[in-house]
A and B are shown apart, each in its own frame.
Chain A
Amino acid sequence: MNRRAQAVVMLLFGGAILRASLSDMYLRFVKQGLRPLLIAAGVLLVVAAAMTLWYDLRPPPREPAGEHGQHDEPGAPHGESVHDEHGGGHGHGHGEPRVGWLLLLPVLGLLLVAPPPLGSYAAGQAGTVLTAQEPDSDYPPLPPGDPAPVTLLDYASRAVFDGGRSLADRKVRLTGFLTPGPGGEPMLARIVLTCCAADGRPIKIGLTGDVPAGLPADTWVRIVGVYSDRTAKDPINDATVPYVEVRSWQQVAAPTEQYE
């Protein structure tokens, strides 16, 4: 792969990163907080591509008075020739930049395939994320509103670790996608992200009462319900899965930020 082709690959890769991070697409893969870093990295990639092309299109400077700006002053660290590789370092198997062709794969993934956010399939593969946190901590009161909007993780933590005390006598509103439980019954789930989708783990909540029926997996619903003391075990990791008693539900469009 010559330098000009490398510049094109870097340009495509940086462009794909920029396109994903300037739209909402990056939220399918990483957390919102990474956006500034992604934009900076995309810009740097594009600049590196531009500089590579720029230098490749002009002949290398032969004289100290070449056409390019900065030169080492005498005694600068690069006066001596720096021989990097131990003899024949590039003489083995893979040629040095040839592996760079692989960078076209993420470009393909970002620009052409544009995979959807993790959903029901991933939720069925992993155990619920709810694990022993502070069992004795007191949870703050629910946010105001009737029903109170809470995240699935918040509801599940209050239900399991607080015995539902802070949920008593309140209606809650939960938004998530449907995923089939161990027995095929619909459960409400959402993927919790720490860093990127590779560490995404589902949070699962069982449904009783007016359970949404007849909807395919990955359908997004918003349910209004109350605390139920029923629990189950996720067969995948033995973690506790709390239930919510559904009073009403409606189908909704998938939110922009699908992860919690």
Chain B
Amino acid sequence: MADRRPVATEDIDWSAPPATRRAPGRSRRDGGRIGSVEVLAVLLVALVLLRAPIAGLVSAPWLQTWTTVFVSVLVQAVPFLVFGVALSAVIAVFVPRSFWARALPKHPALAVPAAGVAGVVLPGCECGSVPIAGSLIRRGVAPAAALTFLLAAPAINPIVLTATAIAFPNNPGMVLARGVASLAVAVAMGWLWLRLGRADWIRLPHRPHLDDRSRGRAFWAACRHDLMHAGGFLVLGAAAAATINVAVPESWLRGLAGNAVLSVLALTALAVVLSICSEADAFVAASLTQFSLTARLVFLVVGPMVDLKLIAMQSGAFGGRFAARFAPATVVAGVLIGSGVGLVLL
């Protein structure tokens, strides 16, 4: 797929330049080459025939637990992914570019906090906010503002803050600390991007050009592309999260809880590898009683912004060079700001 040769793929977008577009009649068949539909058909027949042996393979308890966790991460994320993709397709196809120029402050340094506050109001899930942020950048929103939205939307919204309040009934300060720290990290990352970020780190994947005459066609093409793309990376992330969930017993963490610095670092690592959705992570944090409140705050700040599932999705949506810089920087910002806010407020 690296070079998208016109003769080698049926996958040319209908809006590709005419020079590379094959005649409509011929593009249906791919002279003698086995296409993906055929591969898919053979694969499916093989799977149905081999159903019993496959089911037998996954009879070990750890493998069954792995499969349950893997499927459940996906099932939980699917509605948010699908609606996020649909919303991002609406942004891409139906919201005029001029809208964003009017809605956000002209100066990017001001657009960043505005995007952060927009993220607070919109109840988003991390799986949905990745394609939305990609769409915003495509529509001319400053990347710094779009990235702030990407971080803020899942981390601080009414649903997440309510869940946090329920999970920590004895520590109402936790809700405030979570909101303040998460917003601060999101805005700080936006400003950091303004200062240090380089446009060529972001590589938005090739997507059907949306200058087609039919908006319906453009809408469904954007949906299809983002679903397959973000969905595929979501599968990668879910598999990684399930592996960690099964392979790393909770008891390993116990030894680290006594030390203030180590406990923050341990829960940071746990937040990254567990990849729990932001509506649920407060309850997991509440159950990690042997850790300090500050360590658990860092867990809540980092988790919705950086985890295995998100790193996979971000490198899919913005390119590996972007994710390799953005994710570690966000972790560092989350740990520093989260610890600082925790020391002051908790």
Contact = CB atoms under 8 A, between A and B. Distances in A.
B55 A5 contact: no
5 contacts: A2-B11, A60-B212, A100-B229, A115-B65, A134-B169
Nearest to A78: B211
Interface in B59-116: 61-62, 64-65, 67-76, 78-79, 81-83, 86, 93, 95-98
B213 A64 contact: yes
Contacts of A91: 2-3
Given A84-B207, A99-B232, A52 B9 contact: no
B64 A10 contact: no
Contacts of A8: 37, 40
B199 A116 contact: no
A29 B75 contact: yes
A122 interface: yes
Contact of A99 (B138, B211, B228): B228
A217 to B, nearest CB: 9
Given A10-B228, A97-B229, A198-B69, A134 B280 contact: no
Chain B, interface size: which category? 35 or more
Interface of A: 1-10, 12-13, 17, 20, 26, 28-30, 34, 37-38, 40-42, 44-45, 48, 51-52, 55, 59-61, 64, 66, 68-72, 76-86, 89-106, 108-110, 112-118, 120-122, 125-127, 129, 131-134, 194-199, 201, 235-239
A112 to B, nearest CB: 5
Nearest to B235: A102
Given A72-B213, A113-B54, A118-B68, A196 B228 contact: no
Given A30-B72, A115-B64, A80 B211 contact: yes
Contacts of B20: none
B250 to A, nearest CB: 5
Interface stretch (B187-195, B269-277, B336-344): B269-277
A5 B40 contact: yes
B295 interface: no
B78 to A, nearest CB: 5
A72 B216 CA distance: 10
Given A105-B239, A237-B289, 18 more contacts: A3-B224, A5-B36, A9-B228, A26-B75, A51-B224, A52-B221, A76-B96, A81-B209, A85-B203, A94-B316, A95-B4, A97-B229, A105-B235, A113-B54, A118-B69, A121-B64, A198-B76, A199-B284
A65 B236 CA distance: 43
A-B complex: 3 closest residue pairs judged by Cβ atoms: A95-B1, A99-B232, A195-B280
A2 B203 contact: no
B10 A2 contact: yes
B67 A236 contact: no
Nearest to A122: B65
A196 to B, nearest CB: 4
B151 interface: no
Contact of B40 (A9, A78, A80, A129): A9
Given A45-B82, A80-B211, A195 B24 contact: no
Contacts of B98: 77
Nearest to A129: B287
Given A109-B71, A236-B250, A237-B290, A99 B221 contact: no
